């Protein structure tokens, strides 16, 4: 990875758009917002951040929704685009068409490099737990010390993508960067509170329902949440993927999937795993993708069809990895 050449390419840009993925999460926002801070304050660049979707729940305590542009994006208005935490054009949502037209795109990411590649320069490290870690490394090309604000942004990104340092993707480098960010004033308490003390009563009710609906199979578990459930509780379907982490703490569960009906007959599936089991192949067999131990896919069909497709793919994946027999 040529960090210097990425840094030099960024230095040449003047009017820069930073873009993240749909339904931006703290890693995507932490990466984009901290990069913007440095480029504006240290290098005097003109920078705008775009992502398709609002900042969710507790994340608003850290990231300002006003700084996230939802307006029309015309790629020719910018001489450089930087895409963060986003493996493919589809994940850019409504901005993907415009991004595709641009001839000077840098991609900084920790997802598997997807073909066809849309970027012209890439900084990709799939062994990195978060994109925020990569941004921290890159920022050292522009400044010697990060501000409290940037430290909090990046710490939030690392904390979210490691599920507060509980996931198998945590490395010594990840912890060492987190420690440096803490040292630079990252508001660790704010980040922890925004993760764990930010659900509304209706989300609590949805959590109760999700736990009730958990179905346990041989070495895996699924939770299916329908539009009917969401409407009954007058809540939103945001954040249901967290249940996939929670259910992994049940003894014997090595793979989990939360299937959430986002719109009628359109289901978002979040896969998680432990003990070195990989789920990205399961997700990609269903048209999605992601990390080894945290992946997702969007599937359309009736509840019954989607559920049986998911179960069949999980069983296939577990068989291939020698966890279960025929």
Binding region for Mn ion (CB under 5 A): 27, 85, 131, 161
The residue (of 59 and 161) whose beta carbon lies closer to Mn ion is: 161
- How far apart are CB 31 and Mn ion at their closest, in Å? 8
Helices marked H in the chain — which ranges?
3-12, 26-41, 96-101, 131-139, 148-161, 172-183, 188-196, 201-212, 227-232, 242-247, 280-285, 303-320
Residue number, 108 or 230, with CB nearest to Mn ion: 108
Q: Smallest distance, Å, CB 282 to Mn ion?
A: 19
CB of 139 or CB of 206, closer to Mn ion: 139
Q: DSSP letter string over 121-148?
A: EEEE-TTSS-HHHHHHHHHTTT-SS--H
In the bound state with Mn ion, the residue whose beta carbon lies nearer, of 131 and 260, is 131
Minimum separation from the CB atom of position 109 to Mn ion (A) = 8
Point out the residue whose Cβ comes nearest to Mn ion.
Answer: 27
> What is the smallest separation between the CB atom of 114 and Mn ion, expressed in angstroms?
14
Q: How far apart are CA 229 and CA 124, in angstroms?
A: 39
Structure token digits, residue 259 = 């299937």
Q: Is the dihedral of CA 136, 277, 271, 90 positive or negative?
A: positive
State the Cα–Cα distance between residues 288 and 123, nearest whole angstrom: 22
- Going by the DSSP 8-state scheme, the letter that residue 62 receives in this structure is T
Instruction: Work out how close the CB of 174 gets to Mn ion at its nearest, in angstroms, rounded to a whole number.
Output: 12
Residue placing its CB nearer to Mn ion in the complex, 161 or 187: 161
């Amino acid at each position: 990875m040529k960090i210097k050449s990425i840094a030099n390419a960024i230095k040449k840009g003047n009017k820069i758009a930073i873009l993240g993925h749909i339904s931006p999460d703290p890693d995507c926002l932490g990466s984009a917002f901290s990069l913007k801070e440095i480029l504006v304050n240290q290098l005097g660049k003109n920078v705008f951040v775009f992502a398709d979707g609002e900042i969710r729940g507790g994340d608003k305590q850290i990231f300002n929704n006003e700084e996230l542009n939802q307006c029309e994006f015309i790629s020719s208005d910018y001489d450089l685009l930087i895409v963060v935490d986003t493996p493919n054009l589809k994940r850019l949502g409504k901005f993907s068409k415009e991004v595709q037209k641009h001839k000077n795109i840098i991609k900084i990411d920790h997802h598997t490099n997807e073909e066809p590649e849309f970027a012209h320069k890439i900084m990709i490290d799939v062994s990195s737990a978060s994109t925020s870690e990569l941004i921290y490394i890159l920022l050292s090309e522009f400044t010697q010390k990060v501000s409290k604000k940037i430290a909090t942004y990046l710490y939030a990104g690392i904390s979210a993508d490691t599920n507060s340092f509980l996931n198998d993707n945590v490395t010594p480098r990840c912890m060492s960067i987190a420690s440096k960010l803490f040292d630079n004033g990252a508001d660790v308490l704010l980040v922890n509170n925004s993760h764990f003390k930010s659900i509304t009563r209706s989300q609590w009710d949805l959590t109760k329902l999700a736990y009730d609906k958990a179905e346990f199979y041989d070495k895996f578990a699924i939770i299916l949440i329908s539009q009917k459930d969401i409407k009954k509780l007058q809540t939103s379907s945001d954040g249901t993927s967290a249940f996939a982490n929670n259910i992994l703490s049940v003894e014997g569960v090595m793979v989990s999937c939360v299937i959430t009906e986002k719109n009628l007959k359109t289901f978002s599936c979040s896969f998680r795993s432990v003990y070195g089991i990989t789920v990205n192949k399961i997700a990609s067999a269903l048209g999605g993708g992601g990390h080894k131990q945290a992946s997702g896919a969007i599937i359309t069909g009736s509840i019954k069809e989607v559920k049986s497709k998911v179960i069949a793919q999980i069983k296939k994946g577990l068989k291939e990895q020698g966890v279960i027999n025929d």
